[in-house]
Amino acid sequence: MTTILKRAAIALAAVAVTLPAVAAAPADAATTKQWAGSYRFSIHGSQKTGTSLAATQREANQSAVFRMSSTCTTAAGCNAVATGPAPSNPTVPTPPKYKWNGTSWVNTFSWQWDCYQGAGVPKVWAPAQSTMTYTPNRDGMFRGVWQTTIASGPCAGTVTMPISAVATVGFRRFLDGIQAG
């Protein structure tokens, strides 16, 4: 049996062992209040929409790896903190902090939008309010939306972008290794 076939057989065996546990899990099993480990966060800027001038400007998708840690207490509920690279905009609060609302992890923050108006034109900074929402899915990914309202200036309006987070270790890495094999 070739190495690739052996790896595929191992992967199938692992899936066969894992799937019954996933299939038997209740619908809310994906909505665990714990969010821990290493995740690749992606901002899908190429799919942004909204009423702001910024929503019409081309933007590349971006991703970075962050380490999540969460805690739950009776008084404060469940909170998660992300540690990773600093944002390019210095007004974005760091580290990102998320609160569990019963179905999703939510981070709401105020910051200054840096409105790009073209080459050679100075950026205009304006107050903005953002909410990032990540909802856990059965496949282990977190999918959601980043909604921003820019209060004033030439970029006043809304910008909405899809966002996602996927674990960088564990079973997903095992499967990725098999596919690369």
Q: Quick: pLDDT tens for 36-57.
A: 999 999 999 999 999 999 999 9
Give CA torsion, residues 177, 81, 139, 146, to 10 deg. -110
User: How much is the pTM?
Assistant: 0.75
Q: Is residue 131 part of a domain?
A: yes
Q: Name which residue leads in pLDDT, 61 or 179.
A: 61
Supply the pLDDT for residue 74: 81
Contact between 4 and 175 under an 8 Å Cβ cutoff? The reply is: no
Supply the pLDDT for residue 127: 99
Contact between 63 and 38 under an 8 Å Cβ cutoff? The reply is: no
Inform me whether the pLDDT recorded for 22 exceeds 60. no
- Tell me: cis bond preceding 87? Omega within 30 of 0 counts: no
State whether residue 16 is helix, strand or coil.
Answer: helix
Q: Is residue 22 part of a domain?
A: no
Q: Is residue 161 part of a domain?
A: yes
Inform me whether the pLDDT recorded for 133 exceeds 70. yes
Average pLDDT for residues 115-133, to the nearest whole number? 96
Q: Is residue 176 part of a domain?
A: no
Question: How many domains in the chain?
Answer: 1
Q: Is residue 6 part of a domain?
A: no
pLDDT band at 73 (very low <50, low <70, confident <90, very high): confident
> Residue 38: which of 176, 170, 180 has the closest Cα?
170
Contact between 148 and 43 under an 8 Å Cβ cutoff? The reply is: no
135-172 residue pLDDT tens: 999 988 999 999 999 999 999 999 999 999 999 975 45
Q: Which residues pair with 161 in a beta bridge?
A: 146
Dihedral pair phi/psi, residue 125, rounded to 5° = -90, 135
Supply the pLDDT for residue 11: 38
**Domain that includes residue 125, residue range:** 29-168
